[in-house]
Chain A
């Protein structure tokens, strides 16, 4: 098998036999992000076993999620699923008093065609707690796409902008009263919407980020005198941002294509297509794209970016000229590869579960220009990769680093290939200027470990034959 490194971006699609996390894993970070939520995963023991093991010690901290474990009677419809879900949701309401219950539909609910979307509004009326349905199942999605399905469902629950904007002179007072009585949104928010109305636009960012990272990004935009009027999701369900046809939206993560589509088509928002704010290059491009949409000239961005690159110098010396192979499992791959190429690395292959060329258009273009700028060959992008084939290719290419799932990490290490566990990129803080260091901290860890263990003569630790 010969492997050609191409001059243009090539897209391939393999068999889809690859390892990734089930998309229900999104509850792990979303329940922490949305403080007043409760996630109910409607599935089987298999789903529960995955969550229990994947989330490790989190499970012992009385998390705000649980399984509605389906039993044989549920599958064969001997039990009434509406009554069963009602019983569980009442219990959750009583024990935890959440502001919203999010039902995560799984493979099983798909196959037995359990009508979660139909039952939710009825049950919501009956028990008085909002219920959102997200079908984050392994039949359709991979890993981080779980968040995409939840946010897309949540986008429908954001308050409508018309309530505040239409006929501002006539019913301003009344709509304010409505607003306060019906939606319990703090005065701060109203003030913000007023400010943005004066500016004649508002900007909502979508994608779940730890609150510190979210405020870092908001602050970067503030420096360019852009006010972020809301985040989807917000820290609390009751603080969901206001949406409407005067609202611009921009994604912070590459796996949010359904959310983007929903925001555009159903909520009539205007999508700003930009590279994602991962790495200083990505962050700068992201801010520039947003500013250009609002007709704002950026200030001091160049210096800011240079300053960050300067602070990364020690890491860059380590990674310069080293090669990377992304096996692909979390959809952050394109952005990470683009950043690493800019850092001086050579990327052989970008495996990715699903490639939305429209939503990621700006990022793909940016990847291409980065390759040209750094004078490195374009990597091949492999959608729905086949792990078996990838390992064969890796044997031939012998990359300096493989970014891969935990299923392959130890076996590859035993064969002398350095690995970095890809899931860490989804849990670490990697967005914005400030966190560029964290990405490189992760990427260089195996390389630094090697420097420590050099010359011990035990890199290859499997017996021949």
Chain B
């Protein structure tokens, strides 16, 4: 057992439901007790979805516990088949069905003989995988199912499209800024003269999945979901994939160069000429995206060497770390991710761009790390935003889990060249504005509020005499809490109970030494 009240990644079935409800005309039926359909609330609320979420539950109640589901699941499947006529019904196990160990596959087999829809059982184990892994796995399962079906029926067309084309794999519902990223990726590919073959799962139709192999390559923008599918397609159909996340000026260029390479590999057959994207990269980097210019500008100079902490999913945390360190000259004191299953990859990515690496899914560990480092800004999830609030440190949200305010109505991609602008804004606005910072330090701040005592620790064994209190009040508000904590830390280390002005300066000297 584990004592917890916050988790970064949800349970497995959420991942499956996110994939199912991203496809068009796919219905998921959860084998779950009453109240487990909270996913519908999240989708309807966070995504402000206009349509009913195509997820229902085949309720597990006392009777099911006593006698098994018997006809119930099959009835619910065939009923949904008649009501909604979906292409696919995905039976989704939950933690409850994991331990009931009913033969769900048997229900699926029976139901598929009587319903017009395809019926499959999501192959996820609640106790082994989390939301992210389950989503990755379910997407691969659905793709595999339809490609194998097409192969059996003999309507698998493996001929490539005439013009270069790509599949975008891994855009889906409740993903962090996924809709905006998707639009930006489509624009990028269009600029490069590449057609979009299919985007899955968001808005995709399962009956078109057999056309996936027609694309020249697959683009997997996010590390978390889509890689399994891309690997399957590579193994079965020899389709190559690109998994460099086009986030930040440097990685966008990397990604585009890889695309160039793939196209030129295949182009002798159909294009008779090679593509060269270097002029495009140069034009975009220097003049269209503002991020490269921003990093040269005086504003960004003021950020040089400032400390930041990054935490999030593997994709976003790694990319943001690289952007901060390489593109803005900010010192990343710690980069971390909650994607423990992908920890090795993450470490490899950020190794040279940060002082330390934290791979954990325990939010208290993250909180303690931030309290210890006291960065000037945090880039993390909603949890880190709240840790930042308590410590008076600004936070930019860069990754799930997120709240409704991160599902913006306005256009806010993180990927592509427009994404670089958005990220630059986010980073810049998170730090106290450069010149303001400088002026405040010279003129001693513009607020005379009481001393801020917000901290994660609740020690009150120290007293400040009146002179030191006055001295503390002279310090600008936004660094006062930090100076106070440092002084107290120093006092405690040296066994001093009463803090005087002398102790304050001694602490400052000790810190600089």
Residues of A near any B CB (own CB < 8 A): 16-17, 19-23, 42, 44-46, 48-54, 56, 59-60, 63, 65-72, 74-75, 79, 81, 84-85, 87-88, 91-92, 107-108, 110-112, 137-143, 388, 391, 405-411, 414, 461-462
Query: In the complex the two chains form, what is the Cα distance from A142 to B42 in whole Å?
Result: 19
B44 near A408: Cβ-Cβ < 8 Å: yes
Q: Which of B1-9, B145-153, B316-324, B348-356 contacts A (4 or more CB under 8 A)?
A: B1-9
28 interchain pairs, CB-CB under 8 A: A44-B95, A44-B126, A45-B7, A46-B126, A49-B11, A50-B38, A60-B386, A67-B3, A68-B2, A72-B128, A74-B1, A75-B127, A81-B1, A85-B1, A91-B3, A108-B96, A111-B99, A138-B32, A139-B61, A140-B61, A141-B34, A407-B37, A407-B44, A410-B49, A411-B44, A411-B49, A411-B51, A411-B52
Taking the complex as formed, is B48 at the interface, i.e. its CB lies under 8 A from any CB of chain A?
Answer: yes
Kindly provide the distance from the CB of A148 to the nearest chain B CB, expressed in whole angstroms: 15
- Whole-angstrom CA separation of A72 from B125 in the bound complex: 11
**A68 and B1 contact, CB distance less than 8 A:** yes
Partner of B52, one of A20, A50, A408: A408
In the assembled complex, the Cα of A461 lies from the Cα of B34 at a distance in Å of 30
Interface residues of B (CB under 8 A from A): 1-7, 10-11, 13-14, 32-38, 40-42, 44-45, 48-53, 56-57, 59-62, 65, 76, 83, 94-96, 99-100, 126-128, 130, 383, 386, 389, 403
A410 touching B1 by the CB < 8 A rule? no
Report the Cα distance A71→B128, complex, angstroms.
9
- Are A51 and B5 neighbours in the complex by a CB distance under 8 Å? yes
CA distance A405 to B94 in the complex (A): 22
Residues of A within 8 A of B32 (CB): 138
* Residue with the greatest number of chain A CB neighbours at <10 A, chosen from B1, B57, B59, B95: B1
Which residues in B have their C-beta under 8 angstroms from that of A461? 50
Which residues from chain B contact A44 at a C-beta distance below 8 Å?
A: 11, 95, 126
**Contact residue among B4, B62, B83, B96 (Cβ-Cβ distance under 8 Å from A69):** B4
A75 CA to B96 CA in the complex, in Å?
Answer: 11
The chain B residue sitting closest to A83, CB to CB, is B1
Neighbour of A407 across the interface among B14, B40, B100, B403, CB < 8 A: B40
Contact between B83 and A388 (Cβ–Cβ < 8 Å)? yes
Q: How far is the CB of B413 from chain A (nearest CB, A)?
A: 24
| Pair B38/A69 contact, Cβ less than 8 Å | no
Please report the C-alpha to C-alpha distance between residue A22 and residue B35 in the assembled complex, in whole angstroms. 4
- Tell me whether B51 and A46 are in contact (CB under 8 A): no
Task: Establish whether residues A16 and B61, one from each chain, have CB atoms under 8 Å apart when the complex forms.
Answer: yes
* A/B pair count, beta carbons within 8 Å: 159
Given the known A-B contacts A16-B61, A108-B99, A410-B48, are A49 and B7 also in contact in the complex, defined by CB atoms under 8 Å?
A: yes
Shortest beta-carbon distance from B167 to chain A in Å: 26
Q: Which partner residue on chain A sits nearest B389 by CB separation?
A: A60
A52 partner residues in chain B, CB cutoff 8 A: 5-7
Q: How far is the CB of A173 from chain B (nearest CB, A)?
A: 44
A46 with B36: in contact, given A139-B61, A414-B50 (CB under 8 Å)? yes
Q: Contacts of A45 on B, CB cut-off 8 Å? A: 7, 10-11, 95, 126, 130
User: Given A45-B11, A71-B127, A462–B50 Cβ distance below 8 Å?
Assistant: yes
Of the candidates B6, B59, B128, which one forms a contact with A16 in the assembled complex, judged by CB atoms under 8 Å apart?
B59
Contact A48:B50 (CB < 8 A) given known A75-B127, A108-B95, A139-B60: no
CA distance A142 to B57 in the complex (A): 14
What CA separation (Å) do A406 and B99 show in the bound complex?
29
Q: Which of B48, B61, B389 has the most CB of A within 10 A?
A: B61
Query: B6 and A49: CB pair below 8 A?
Result: no
> Smallest CB–CB gap between A140 and chain B, Å?
6
Q: Contacts of A391 on B, CB cut-off 8 Å?
A: 52
> How far is B251's CA from A247's CA once the two chains are assembled, in angstroms?
74
Q: Which of B34, B95, B100 contacts A46 (CB 8 A)?
A: B95
Interface contact B44-A410, CB-CB below 8 Å: yes
Instruction: For A48, give its contact among B4, B34, B36, B41 (CB under 8 Å).
Output: B4
Instruction: Write the nearest CB–CB distance from B341 to chain A, whole angstroms.
Output: 15
B116 smallest CB distance to A (angstroms): 18
B56 touches A17 (CB 8 A): yes
Residues of A contacting B5 with CB < 8 Å?
48, 51-52, 59, 63, 65-67
Chain B residue contacts of A46, Cβ below 8 A: 11, 13, 36, 94-96, 126
B34, B100, B130: the one contacting A111 at CB < 8 Å is B100
* A306–B94 alpha-carbon span in the complex (Å): 52
CB-contact partner of B1 in A23, A59, A70, A111, under 8 A: A70
Query: Inside 8 A of A411's CB, which chain B residues have their CB?
Result: 44, 49-53
Do the beta carbons of B3 and A92 come within 8 Å of each other? yes
Q: A44-B11, A88-B3, A111-B99 are in contact. Are A20 and B35 (CB under 8 A)?
A: yes
A17 vs B55: C-alpha distance in the bound complex, in angstroms? 11
Specify the chain B residue showing the minimal Cβ separation from A137.
Answer: B33
Q: How far is the CB of A180 from chain B (nearest CB, A)?
A: 33
- In the complex, which residue of chain B has the Cβ closest to the Cβ of A63? B5
| Distance of A21 Cα from B37 Cα, bound (Å) | 8
The answer to whether A53 and B42 have CB atoms under 8 Å apart is yes
In angstroms, Cα B403 to Cα A10, docked, is: 42
Closest chain-A Cβ to B252's Cβ sits at a distance in Å of 33
Bound-complex Cα distance A414 to B48 (A): 10
Chain B CB within 10 Å, residue with most, of A19, A85, A142, A462: A19
CB-defined contacts of A56 to chain B, threshold 8 Å: 403
Cα A298 to Cα B6 with chains together (Å): 51
Q: Are A143 and B59 in contact (CB under 8 A)?
A: no
B35, A71: Cβ atoms closer than 8 Å: no
Which residues of the other chain, B, contact A53 by a CB distance below 8 angstroms?
Answer: 38, 41-42
With beta carbons under 8 angstroms apart, the residue of B13, B38, B50, B76 that contacts A22 is: B38
A15 and B76 alpha carbons, distance in the complex (Å): 10
How far does the Cβ of B500 sit from chain A's closest Cβ, in whole Å?
33
Which of chain B's residues have a CB closer than 8 A to the CB of A67? 2-5
Docked pose: A75 CA to B1 CA in angstroms = 10
Q: A48-B4, A48-B5 are in contact. Are A406 and B50 (CB under 8 A)?
A: no
Closest to A42 in B: B1
Given contacts A49-B38, A111-B96, are A414 and B11 in contact (CB under 8 A)? no
Q: With the chains together, A388 CA to B246 CA distance in Å?
A: 42
> Nearest B residue to A54 by beta-carbon distance?
B38
> CA–CA, A406 to B10, complex, Å?
20
Residue of A nearest to B5 (CB): A66
A145 → B minimal CB distance (Å): 10
Residue of A nearest to B95 (CB): A44
Bound complex: CA A354 to CA B61 (Å)? 14
Q: Is the CB of B6 within 8 A of A406?
A: no
A60, A75, A112, A142 pick with most chain B CB within 10 angstroms: A60
Residue on A nearest B75 in the bound complex, by CB: A15
Contact B53 A48 (CB under 8 A): no
A409: B residues at CB distance < 8 A: 44
The residue on B at minimum CB distance from A45 is: B11
Complex interface: chain A residues within 8 A of B35 (CB): 20-23, 50, 138, 142-143
Task: Find out whether the CB atom of B3 lies under 8 angstroms from the CB atom of A49.
Answer: no
State the Cβ distance, B59 to closest chain A Cβ, in Å: 6
Give A50 to B11 CA distance when docked, in angstroms.
10
Query: How many angstroms from the CA of A211 to the CA of B499 in the assembled complex?
Result: 42
Q: Closest approach, in angstroms, between the C-beta of B9 and any C-beta of chain A?
A: 9
Complex: A89 Cα to B40 Cα, angstroms: 34
Min CB–CB distance B54 → chain A (angstroms): 11
Known: A52-B5, A88-B3. Is A16-B53 also a contact (CB below 8 A)?
no
**In the assembly, what is the distance between CA of A56 and CA of B94, in Å?**
23
Whether B127 contacts A72 by the Cβ 8 Å rule is: yes
Q: Once the chains are docked, how many angstroms separate the CA of A112 from the CA of B3? A: 19
A462 to B126, CA, bound (A): 35
Q: Closest approach, in angstroms, between the C-beta of B100 and any C-beta of chain A?
A: 6
Beta-carbon contact of A107 and B60 below 8 Å: yes
Chain B, residue nearest A22 (CB): B35
Cα distance, A84 to B386, chains bound together (Å):
30
Besides the known contacts A45-B130, A46-B11, 19 further A-B residue pairs in the complex with CB atoms under 8 A apart = A17-B59, A20-B35, A21-B38, A22-B34, A22-B38, A23-B35, A48-B4, A49-B10, A66-B4, A68-B3, A71-B127, A108-B96, A112-B99, A138-B34, A138-B35, A141-B34, A410-B49, A410-B50, A411-B53
